Amino acid sequence: MRIQLAKSRSGIALIIVLVVIVVLGIIAGKFAYSMKVETTLARHASFSSELDWMGRAGVEIAKWVLAQESQGPQGQVDSLRQRWAGGPGDSNSVVSAVDLKNYQIGNGTVSIDIKDLDRKFNINSADEVVLKQAFTLIGVDAASLSTVIGSILDWMDRDQDPHLGGTESRTYEAEDPPHFCKDGPFDDLSELLWVHGVTPAMYYGSGGGEGPRIFNRVPMSQRSHFEEPTYAVGLVDLFTPLSSGLININTASATVLQLMPDIDENMAQAIIQKRAGPDGVDGTDDDLPFRVPTELAAMPGFASPTAITQLGRFFTTRSLVFEVHVTASIGSSKREYVAILMRLAPRDIRTLNLYWK
Q: Which residues contact 276 (CB under 8 A, 6 or more apart)?
A: 282, 284, 287, 288
Angle between helices 128-138 and 142-156 in degrees, nearest 10: 140
Q: How far is CA 330 from CA 48, 123, 205, 234, 333, in A?
A: 10, 38, 35, 35, 5
Q: In the CATH scheme, what is the code of domain 47-120+318-356?
A: 3.30.1300.30
Residue 300 has what pLDDT? 77
pLDDT tens over the chain, length 357 residues:
455 545 556 677 777 878 888 888 888 887 777 766 655 555 555 678 999 999 999 999 999 999 999 886 666 899 999 999 999 988 888 898 889 999 999 889 999 999 999 999 999 999 999 999 999 999 999 888 999 999 999 999 988 888 888 888 888 888 878 888 999 999 999 999 999 999 999 999 865 554 444 444 445 444 444 567 788 899 999 999 999 999 999 999 999 999 987 888 999 999 999 999 999 999 999 999 999 998 988 887 776 676 677 787 889 999 999 999 999 999 888 999 999 999 999 889 999 999 998
The HSE-up count of residue 94 (CA atoms within 13 Å, CB side) is: 10
Q: What is the spatial distance between Cα 247 and Cα 260, in angstroms, rounded to a whole number?
A: 10
Query: For residue 249, what pLDDT is reported?
Result: 96
pLDDT at 37: 62
Q: Which of 157, 93, 101, 171 is closest to 128 using CA atoms?
A: 157
Gap between the Cα atoms of 141 and 138, Å rounded: 9
DSSP 192: G
What was the pLDDT predicted at 20?
82
DSSP per residue, 197-241: T--HHHHH-TTS----HHHH---GGG--SSPPPP-SS-HHHHEES
Closest by CA to 257, choosing from 269, 242, 273, 275, is 269
Q: Are 316 and 248 in contact (CB under 8 A)?
A: yes
Ordered by start, the domain boundaries in the chain are: 47-120+318-356
Q: Are 152 and 195 in contact (CB under 8 A)?
A: yes
The predicted pLDDT at position 211 comes to 47
Q: What pLDDT does 215 receive?
A: 44
